[in-house]
Amino acid sequence: MSALPLLGMSEGELTAFVEGMGESAYRARQIRASLLKGLSFDEMTDLPKAFRGELHRRAVTGIPRIVKALGPDEDDTYKFLFSFKDGQAVEGVLMAYRYGNTLCVSTQVGCAMGCAFCASGLGGKVRDLAPFEMLGEVVAAGAYVRGARALGPDRRPVDNVVLMGSGEPLDNFDNVVTFLKMLGDPGGLNMSMRHVSVSTCGLPGRMRALTDTGLRVTLCVSLHAPNDGIRKRLMPVASRYPIGEVVDAARYHVRRTGRRVIFEYILVKGVNDRPEHAVELAARLRGMQCHVNLIPCNPVDHADFCAPAPAVTARFERELKNAHISCTRRRVLGADIEGACGQLKRRTVTGQEPPEGEDP
């Protein structure tokens, strides 16, 4: 029988587990508190030594190992490579902002979407991540940062979570919804869904289904183009789901939740960065409660894409604002620690990663 991942258990399930071992229910509360701090069984010193040994025989924590960590860089950004029990690995990035630390979480090993500007889908999708594995990314990153720097007693190492790492969250819909409920569990990390963003490349049916769960997350849509012609060049999913259907699903989210939608728009030199593209994008989004996040393209090895000149980006932003579309340029973080999705994993598994402790 395979060992049970305790991080994936509810409070009731964990209580039943420890009582089945002849222990009192309060041991479950001790274990859960320790798990959420990222502690191993050996580090749970408030438990009897014999009981810890029995836990080793029957269970695993379910917390992934951080096999590679880069940072903090000059922007106080960390990049992690998480490894799971089956040897598969995913990445996470923790970014420091004035309003708190934001962790970018992966939802799948690899990705089936094949976006031209992303390194995480080069090998296709390997498998979905289980809810406890996604929660484990948050726990492991929090434990690492807590140990790496002094934090006040009331300061969370991870204040916000964005599902923008490797994988398409809505392609792993049921597991992602379960993870979000675990993340917001008052007896767990108790994170408000207002501090959680779910990004999708644009699966309209799943976008509506997410809205209908009642989870008041921020919906982020990777649009990256003002029309289907350009979008198909960048994102294969556009051949199946026209941009009009994607925007309609976003409008549905706004109507049902009253919350604005964030549209991610990666600016690629010579592809989608002209003023007329901004005008067309503004016309498509007009009248919607939304915000456009402009992102200069982060260069990746497999694609001949790069960011436009700062003046071109500034003009694009100006055109949107002139059309009364809320927008900002994202602060570029993590470029010196392989910040783009899939880069650190790709370099590590191909043996091209930098020497231990050195940034590439």
The pLDDT tens digits along the chain (360 residues) read 478 999 999 999 999 999 999 999 999 999 999 999 999 999 999 999 999 999 999 999 999 999 999 987 777 789 999 999 999 999 999 998 878 899 999 999 999 998 887 877 677 899 999 999 999 999 999 999 888 764 544 567 899 999 999 999 999 999 999 999 999 999 999 999 999 999 999 999 999 999 999 999 999 999 999 999 999 999 999 999 999 999 999 999 999 999 999 999 999 999 999 999 999 999 999 999 999 999 998 876 556 788 999 999 999 999 999 999 999 997 655 555 454 555 554 444 434 343 332 222
Task: Please say if 115 is a catalytic residue.
Answer: no
- C-alpha pair distances (Å), 75 with each of 81, 98, 101, 143, 295: 19, 11, 12, 20, 17
Task: Please say if 341 is a catalytic residue.
Answer: yes
pTM of structure:
0.88
Tell me which H or E stretch contains 87: none
Q: Which contacts of 16-20 are long-range, i.e. CB under 8 A and separated by 24 or more positions?
A: 17/59
Q: Which of 111, 115, 118, 341 is catalytic?
A: 341
Identify the DSSP state of 59: E
Q: Which of 91, 137, 317, 353 is catalytic?
A: 91
Determine if residue 150 is left, alpha or beta; phi over 0 gives left, psi from -120 to 50 gives alpha, anything else beta: beta
Question: Can you name the CATH fold of 65-349?
Answer: TIM Barrel (3.20.20)
Q: Where are the domains of the chain?
A: 4-60, 65-349
Within 10 A of 223 (CB to CB), how many other CB atoms are there? 29
Which CATH architecture is the domain 4-60 placed in? Answer: Orthogonal Bundle (1.10)
- C-alpha pair distances (Å), 123 with each of 67, 238, 249, 346: 20, 20, 29, 10
100: three-class secondary structure by DSSP: strand
Domains 4-60 and 65-349 share a fold: no
